[in-house]
Amino acid sequence: MGVGEDVPSLLALAREYIRTKYNKPGNVYLGVVSRLDAPVTGATLLARTSKAAARLSEQFRERDVTKIYWALVEGRVGAPSAALVDWVRKDERHRRMHIAQPGAPGAQEARLSFRTLQNFSDATLLEVQLETGRKHQIRVQLAEHGCPVLGDRKYGGVRRFASGIALHARRLAFAHPTRDETIEIEAPLPDAWRPWAT
């Protein structure tokens, strides 16, 4: 799923914002520290200097960043909370990830935990905390455990969601790259979530 050519990218919009806010002529440096899958909404992280980008990237590599997502999944999840540990591997032929046996060639450990925020008649709102950051990790693990993300046909979702898939990067918390303080970012929910998140 890509963005149309006439729609500016997040990076282009952020560069223009920095250029205007700080009256910067010419090219503006922005380092992409964290990314989201194309159909996922929410918080991502960009750095204004290469030094900040390197320090923030190190925090992600060392798993020192708190990453909280909200996922609206099909069906009712009975457990108030759970931890999932699986092994995931890329399936190049089908351009997706899948669950693999531990130790299988190319397999990586994937860990997350979740808690149930609200049960609906045929869906559940989960708050998911990623411990590892594998490609499509939340999507493939939740689907494997019987609760695919709404709208996520790639990983077994049957029901549609108003806009893309019902996965939102809700919060990031990390150490400021140059000051001794913790930064917390919370991304507001898109309009498509309003019927579900009260």
Structure tokens at 51: 């030094």
The CA–CA distances, whole Å, from 61 to 54, 141, 151, 169, 176 equal 10, 21, 30, 18, 15
Residue pair 139/155 in contact (Cβ under 8 Å)? The answer is yes
Catalytic residue status for 37: yes
Under a CB-based contact definition with an 8 Å cutoff, are residues 142 and 73 in contact? yes
β-strand pairing of 108-119 with 81-91: antiparallel
Choosing from 37, 64, 91, 180, the catalytic residue is 37
Bridge-based pairing state of the strands 167-175 and 41-42: parallel
Could you give the residue numbers annotated as active site?
37
